[in-house]
Structure 1
Amino acid sequence: MPTRDELLAFVTSHGGDVAKRDIARAFGLRADQKAELRALMHELDADGALARRGRKVHVPGALPGVVLADITSRNADGDLMAAPVEWDEAHGEAPLIIVDIPRRSKEPAPGLSDRVLLRMGDPQDGQLIGRVIKVIEKARRQQLGIFRAAPHGGGRIIPIDKKNLGRELQVPQGAEMDAQDGDLVAVELMRQRVFGLPTARVKERLGSLSSEKAVSLVAIHAHSIPHVFPPAVLADAEKARPATAKDREDWRDLPLVTIDPPDAKDHDDAVHAIPDPANPGGFIVTVAIADVAAYVTPGSALDREALLRGNSVYFPDRVVPMLPERISNDLCSLRPLEDRPALAVRLVIGPDGRKTDHSFHRILMRSAAKLAYAQAQAAIDGVSDETTEPLLETVLKPLYAAYACVKKARDARQPLDLDLPERKLVLKPDGTVDRVIIPARLDAHRMIEEFMILANVAAAETLEAKRTPLIYRAHDGPTLEKLSNLRTFLQTLDIKLAKSDTVRPSVFNRILEQVVGTDVSVLVNQVILRSQSQAEYAAENYGHFGLNLRRYAHFTSPIRRYADLVVHRGLIRAMDAGRDGLPPETTPDHLAEVAAAISVTERRAMAAERETVDRLIAHHLADQIGATFAARISGATRAGLFVALDETGADGFVPASTLGQDYYRFDETKQALIGDRTGEMHRIGDRVEVRLVEAAPVAGALRFELLSEGAYLGGARRPGRADSGPAKRDFPKAKRSGPRSGPKPGPRPGTPRRKKGRTES
């Protein structure tokens, strides 16, 4: 057995990212010694000397094999230096990495402030070195803003970023480049004067904010989201011809149906179920997914653009698709009564709801009907229409019966069951907000969601069994640090979370059940959500904690997610079902690079979608300055409180300096701001009343004043010290002259993304 020091030295020397089997092989351990090795690793983990990353361990502060990094500087030798994007500051300052640029690379040469994907090599003379795999994002040498014209030429630039609120730029006369008032523009900073506003020159007009769909245009340009298809990509799409039944199984007589939101333009999945005569009480469920791989072949212009985009981006007022409409809305959309190619999985479900077998097939299908969620649910509830009436007995009732069976296994599996309703914006014809609704969560949604999860599991199992490389949808469990913080917080609510190195979703579910219907229900749901890790794409399988599944891959949406297209190609290769499958030269290392890149595009899309919603709601509320709203405190920091309005879900900020003339300290354990003298406490989850003080629609920022009194430690007002002075009720609210905006709220953990009425896990 290795000693503690030998084990740590080995992990460190291998880039700080090794699996237990690598350690056992390196030290020549026998099978009967693996339990002792496991105990030693647990001991090091508990001491903080080792940490878990999926199924691998690393020395805290060490970097994984593939790193997303920002180029920050040059060293004395002129080499570019990069810092990892994600780094735990508890381990000190982020390390600097020498950027190694391959001589023969198709990638553009990286430069200062670019974001790159690096493959870490062996350190040289104590210096970390990373070879460039891909330039993820070129530096923004320009700033974006809204041009406001001055009467006699020139004007000002209003920043679109919350971080830069109040930092306007001046555009001299002659530097406007024909920009009109209200245009979104890209500007370049000019040589600055000692006094006055910084000056800038308009470099590009990006669009007018007076037009429809202009708000999402801001996010598209702010995040550099590709939204115009190059001519070569459109030419590829136009050359595509409908697939035929050649080399496919003909399933056109099977009455598959699509069930989607009423406004869906593309239909990429269809379902069918029948009782299984060979398995009393069981069912055969069929899930058919559009065969995008038949049209988007590896290495084509379509494929390169899809990888660059990574996924479709869904804004309230538009969609930026991963694939051109010729593919996504036409050839690959499973329209009713039209022949379409698909990749189908036939799932055999036992009486207990568990999947006992499955098989994949490359088919030609013909959808029997296009249904909306509410339409399908209404038919089951006794209100049929001319479309659902003929399908009720033969199609819909068997589907719901199969779901009732599958739900038994889901309930036994106990995935993480957070109760965080998602709001949806309903827009007017001019693109502004009409109202905000919380769509009803129907059994129709849950049914499709559960069938898709089963199909995704089957895809991962098949590719593993066939030893075909794939991209997993992976979700690690909470870190020990987050569990410790959560445990401490729950103690303040007299809720116990047992101490353990590992935890299952069922543990969180039991806690959530305790608070159903109580005042702290929303609070506990939010805090448990924030304790979770973020799901990502990975070539290495470390399971899906939230769904409580050992293996999971995205298979069901290849129209809008590149990861699903890769899985489709893997299945085609594994089944030997065509020449358009995963290329033979594809390796796990290559897929690790793809997974890292599309994880970045997914986070980019989430940020852009969230910011667009913030801007639309800020526009909606801009004429309600001075109005009061019911809200909940959704976050607390040293700088102040974040609040979410009950009616619209809008996020806003209450600066700590406006809470009163007490001094408020942030208590991380209680997730609250607490007054030094009065003991007044404002904690996340508290219901409050707030007044809107300022709205910055362009940046999507709202600032509020808190009208509600907080709780008091010990249940009553009390002075913190002998010289504390009077309680808060004796002080007027602090006022400020002129507008003031709080700092930009960090990425607010939202509910799991839901597209087409189903949870995106």
Structure 2
Amino acid sequence: MPSQAALRAFIAEAGGKVGKSEISRHFGLTSDQRPELRALLAELKAAGAAAPAGGRSLIAPGRLPDMAVVEVTGTDPDGDPIAKPLVWVGEGRAPIIYMRPEQRGQPALAPGERVLARLKPIGAGKYEGRTFKRIAAAGPARILGVYQDGRIEPTDRRHRADWVVPPGDANGAEPGEIVLAEPLPGGVLGPRPARVVERLGVMGEPRSVSLICIHAHGIPDVFPAEALALAAQAEAVAIGSREDLRPVPLVTIDGEDARDFDDAVWAERAGEGWRVLVAIADVAHYVRPDDALDREAWKRGNSVYFPDRVVPMLPEALSNGWCSLRPGEDRGCLFAEMQFDAAGRKTGHRFGRGVMRSAARLTYEQAQAHRDAGTDPEGLAPGHVATLYGAFRALLMAREARGTLELDLPERRVTLDEAGNVTAVTPRARLDSHRLIEEFMVAANVCAAEELEARGQPCMYRVHDRPSDQKLEGLRLFLDSFGLSLPASDRLRPRDFQHLLELVKGRPEERLVHETVLRAQAQAAYAPDNIGHFGLALPRYAHFTSPIRRYADLLVHRALIRGKKLGDDGLTESEAARAAETGEHITATERRAAAAEREAVERYLAAYMSHRVGCMFDARISGVTRFGLFVTLDENGASGIVPLASLPDDRWQHDEAKQALAGRKTGLTFTLGQAVEVRLVEAVPRTGGMVFHIMQGVPPARSRGPSR
């Protein structure tokens, strides 16, 4: 009987699916050994070393069988369909499948269509697919797009084909309106028919961008009447048995455009070390388990922030009212009181329930200005701000000592005028005041996880796994092109990534390396089972500091209330029983929100850039594919595609290992991270897509255009 290692090697080298017959022939097994083989294969599947591949066959994990059902998700820049496998059991994202064009006379594959396809690997995470049999032509359940003269232009850039609206099915839609439509039965040739079922507003008007993103991602944006009624009944918290923190001059420090204030901080010297207080809005007092507010908060999972609006997790009467720590107003809170030594190591903590009164509302910029000038806001004692920064420096020492990963990728800020038009897209400043709040919040979050473990209470952990071997392999290939390397996987620590980022500081490829290292990381998630937080180099971590906008934090508050017997509104047994389901759900809503927020910025950026079509920009190549290049502008981080057809006439060869496109005739080579000059040729606010032409290799007469 072969060993597990030998069997794994055979399945991996097979390159496709194998069955027990092939395994038996290869290892010379007899029929008497079949039961033992079945047990061995079951162990391999349970360990994730082999995956089912239809019928009774197996395949190496991370690979697709030579024939599988795939679903078309969109088209590549050349108009050819791309697809994803309907079933994927490997790590990370499913591979991309580039479908070969259909035979002449056959209708092209459309997004949403499913086919049985023959698959052939063409690179890491990429396959070529050929249609063997069409299974279904069911398009999306709903189409979001802009109505124009009897057609719907989809807002999803992956769906390039328009939909036709038959007479009588426009539901009164006017040209330029954003609409929701549903597919109608129709023929396989030509544009597919659809019926308008809802009119959402006019494209180009203020708020239209966020409206598209809300509906495209199915984000709930209307509160049930019962939830609104409960929020309207809310009243001030009575002091009762709570601790009175009103004499403590807690302050909130948030962004200038912050819509809610759910955390306040204070610090003082304690011998050679520091005493820090973090007070958080007591949302659990107002949102009780399984009431209308709780059910809607669970459904939403989190608030979603757009440049022009917020879709809150809780109604405004709470999120901007009783649960917002406004200066000079009494508010209920849960607090973490923490003690640290001079090196920022925690020596003790305690949690409690209190009533506080914020002494001041500061922006990050104001806090930084007071620190730099050595002053304090009016009404605060001398040295108040300096003390906060002193405690921060101690916590920073502890962070650096444990070796965390800190990616410096500037967030883009979209500035709108009163009419909702984009006036600027700029990187958000990264100040020490931002880091101060982050360090205080991380410390409180760690204490929350430790407290719940110590008291044997359920905890919704914030977990972050180490990067997968597959992602590390791709990252190593990328780093090798810049002469960089990482330690072996079994010795890899967050500080190794941080050292890598320090090596490229100031180099042209710095931003690209930051982005690539970020993409190699696993995604953080919520789960009741702890695996630690790799990026922060912490063995236990939970979210405690933002219950206004994150359901996970509300659960942690309820668990603390139950564990410390701080009230009758703590975590219930039914909530604890469905913790795994809740963790998966709020992880999904968080990723949904991140995608919607990112797409909104992309669409606003496309609207801003649409007035600069024809202009030239400095950029760097941020992606290399067989169908062209992706570039990112130095000026504002706008990204777009350079189609292969726009490059000089040549036979272009794609070197995936070196992330390069090389021309045989011209000798031109385009590589990842390379500085280039590009011209913007198209910017579509409806989809957020931008198309550029690269100027290298283009005769000077063709490169003339409007100046920047």
Give the alignment's TM-score, normalised by structure 2: 0.80
Contact 1:275–1:284 (CA<8 Å) still a contact in 2?
A: yes
Counterpart residue number, 2:135: none
How many residue pairs get aligned? The number is: 605
Counterpart residue number, 1:163: 158
Counterpart residue number, 1:753: none
Supply the distance in 1 between the matched residues of 2:299 and 2:420 (Cα, whole angstroms).
Answer: 28
Counterpart residue number, 2:503: 514
TM-aligned CA distance change 1:217 to 1:487, over 3 Å: same
Supply the distance in 2 between the matched residues of 1:414 and 1:520 (Cα, whole angstroms).
Answer: 23
Q: CA deviation at 1:532?
A: 1.0
Contact 1:272–1:399 (CA<8 Å) still a contact in 2?
A: yes
2:341 is aligned, of 319, 331, 350, to 350
TM-aligned CA distance change 1:314 to 1:91, over 3 Å: closer
Q: CA deviation at 1:497?
A: 2.1
Contact 2:289–2:572 (CA<8 Å) still a contact in 1?
A: yes
Q: CA deviation at 1:643?
A: 1.2
Q: CA deviation at 1:434?
A: 0.3
- Does residue 671 of the first structure (1) align with residue 659 of the second (2)? yes
Equivalences for residues 264-343 of structure 1 within 5 A: 264-276=258-270, 280-343=271-334
- Does residue 470 of the first structure (1) align with residue 459 of the second (2)? yes
TM-aligned CA distance change 1:553 to 1:91, over 3 Å: closer
Q: CA deviation at 1:62?
A: 10
Contact 1:661–1:731 (CA<8 Å) still a contact in 2?
A: no
What SS class does the counterpart of residue 573 from structure 2 fall into? coil
Counterpart residue number, 1:592: 580
Q: CA deviation at 1:685?
A: 1.8
Contact 2:424–2:608 (CA<8 Å) still a contact in 1?
A: no
Equivalences for residues 28-177 of structure 1 within 5 A: 49=49, 61=61, 87-88=90-91, 141-149=141-149, 155-165=150-160, 167-177=161-171
Supply the distance in 2 between the matched residues of 1:342 and 1:190 (Cα, whole angstroms).
Answer: 53
TM-aligned CA distance change 1:391 to 1:426, over 3 Å: same
2:215 is aligned, of 213, 221, 230, to 221
Supply the distance in 1 between the matched residues of 2:384 and 2:164 (Cα, whole angstroms).
Answer: 64
Counterpart residue number, 1:428: 417
Supply the distance in 2 between the matched residues of 1:516 and 1:307 (Cα, whole angstroms).
Answer: 42
Q: Deviations over 1:442-479 (max 9, x none)?
A: 11111111000000000011111111111111111111
What SS class does the counterpart of residue 435 from structure 2 fall into? helix
Counterpart residue number, 1:378: 369
Contact 1:666–1:672 (CA<8 Å) still a contact in 2?
A: yes
Supply the distance in 2 between the matched residues of 1:90 and 1:223 (Cα, whole angstroms).
Answer: 19
Supply the distance in 2 between the matched residues of 1:90 and 1:530 (Cα, whole angstroms).
Answer: 11
Supply the distance in 2 between the matched residues of 1:90 and 1:454 (Cα, whole angstroms).
Answer: 32
TM-aligned CA distance change 1:522 to 1:92, over 3 Å: closer
Supply the distance in 2 between the matched residues of 1:380 and 1:344 (Cα, whole angstroms).
Answer: 25
Q: Deviations over 1:488-514 (max 9, x none)?
A: 332222223232324101111222222
Contact 1:182–1:209 (CA<8 Å) still a contact in 2?
A: yes
TM-aligned CA distance change 1:666 to 1:5, over 3 Å: closer
What SS class does the counterpart of residue 489 from structure 2 fall into? coil
Give the alignment's TM-score, normalised by structure 1: 0.74
Equivalent residue letter for 1:699: T
Supply the distance in 2 between the matched residues of 1:297 and 1:306 (Cα, whole angstroms).
Answer: 11
Counterpart residue number, 2:249: 255
Equivalent residue letter for 2:472: L
TM-aligned CA distance change 1:5 to 1:197, over 3 Å: closer
Supply the distance in 1 between the matched residues of 2:378 and 2:393 (Cα, whole angstroms).
Answer: 21
Q: CA deviation at 1:371?
A: 1.0
TM-aligned CA distance change 1:605 to 1:504, over 3 Å: same
Equivalent residue letter for 1:320: V
- Does residue 405 of the first structure (1) align with residue 394 of the second (2)? yes
More displaced stretch, 375-384 vs 421-430: 375-384
Contact 1:379–1:389 (CA<8 Å) still a contact in 2?
A: no
Supply the distance in 2 between the matched residues of 1:488 and 1:456 (Cα, whole angstroms).
Answer: 36
Please provide the CA RMSD for this pair.
3.3
Contact 2:140–2:183 (CA<8 Å) still a contact in 1?
A: no
1:707 is aligned, of 695, 703, 706, to 695
Q: CA deviation at 1:394?
A: 4.6
Counterpart residue number, 1:21: none
1:501 is aligned, of 490, 505, 522, to 490
Q: CA deviation at 1:390?
A: 3.8
Q: CA deviation at 1:93?
A: 12
TM-aligned CA distance change 1:60 to 1:378, over 3 Å: farther
Q: CA deviation at 1:662?
A: 2.2
Contact 2:262–2:548 (CA<8 Å) still a contact in 1?
A: yes
What SS class does the counterpart of residue 163 from structure 1 fall into? coil
Q: Deviations over 1:291-334 (max 9, x none)?
A: 10000010001000001001000011110000000111000101
Equivalent residue letter for 2:310: V
Contact 2:144–2:180 (CA<8 Å) still a contact in 1?
A: yes
Equivalent residue letter for 2:246: R
Counterpart residue number, 1:445: 434
Contact 1:661–1:733 (CA<8 Å) still a contact in 2?
A: no
Supply the distance in 2 between the matched residues of 1:695 and 1:92 (Cα, whole angstroms).
Answer: 28
Supply the distance in 2 between the matched residues of 1:184 and 1:600 (Cα, whole angstroms).
Answer: 26
Q: Deviations over 1:10-56 (max 9, x none)?
A: xxxxxxxxxxxxxxxxxxxxxxxxxxxxxxxxxx99x99489xxxxx
- Does residue 689 of the first structure (1) align with residue 689 of the second (2)? no
Supply the distance in 2 between the matched residues of 1:482 and 1:522 (Cα, whole angstroms).
Answer: 19
TM-aligned CA distance change 1:601 to 1:705, over 3 Å: same
- Does residue 391 of the first structure (1) align with residue 380 of the second (2)? yes
- Does residue 184 of the first structure (1) align with residue 174 of the second (2)? no
TM-aligned CA distance change 1:324 to 1:498, over 3 Å: same
Supply the distance in 2 between the matched residues of 1:50 and 1:147 (Cα, whole angstroms).
Answer: 48
Contact 2:452–2:560 (CA<8 Å) still a contact in 1?
A: yes
Q: CA deviation at 1:161?
A: 0.8
TM-aligned CA distance change 1:176 to 1:650, over 3 Å: same
1:529 is aligned, of 518, 537, 542, to 518
Contact 2:407–2:514 (CA<8 Å) still a contact in 1?
A: yes
2:478 is aligned, of 489, 493, 496, to 489
Supply the distance in 1 between the matched residues of 2:94 and 2:358 (Cα, whole angstroms).
Answer: 55
Q: CA deviation at 1:198?
A: 2.8
What SS class does the counterpart of residue 449 from structure 1 fall into? helix
Q: CA deviation at 1:83?
A: 5.2
Unmatched 5+ stretches in structure 2 = 9-43, 52-58, 64-69, 73-84, 98-111, 114-138, 704-708
Supply the distance in 2 between the matched residues of 1:89 and 1:358 (Cα, whole angstroms).
Answer: 38
Contact 2:61–2:89 (CA<8 Å) still a contact in 1?
A: no
Unmatched 5+ stretches in structure 1 = 9-43, 52-58, 64-69, 73-81, 95-111, 114-138, 150-154, 710-728, 735-761
TM-aligned CA distance change 1:307 to 1:84, over 3 Å: farther
Contact 1:659–1:733 (CA<8 Å) still a contact in 2?
A: no
Counterpart residue number, 1:28: none
Supply the distance in 2 between the matched residues of 1:245 and 1:433 (Cα, whole angstroms).
Answer: 46
Supply the distance in 2 between the matched residues of 1:409 and 1:147 (Cα, whole angstroms).
Answer: 56
Counterpart residue number, 2:206: 212
Contact 1:660–1:733 (CA<8 Å) still a contact in 2?
A: no
What SS class does the counterpart of residue 365 from structure 2 fall into? helix
Q: CA deviation at 1:535?
A: 1.0
What SS class does the counterpart of residue 458 from structure 1 fall into? helix
Q: CA deviation at 1:669?
A: 2.2
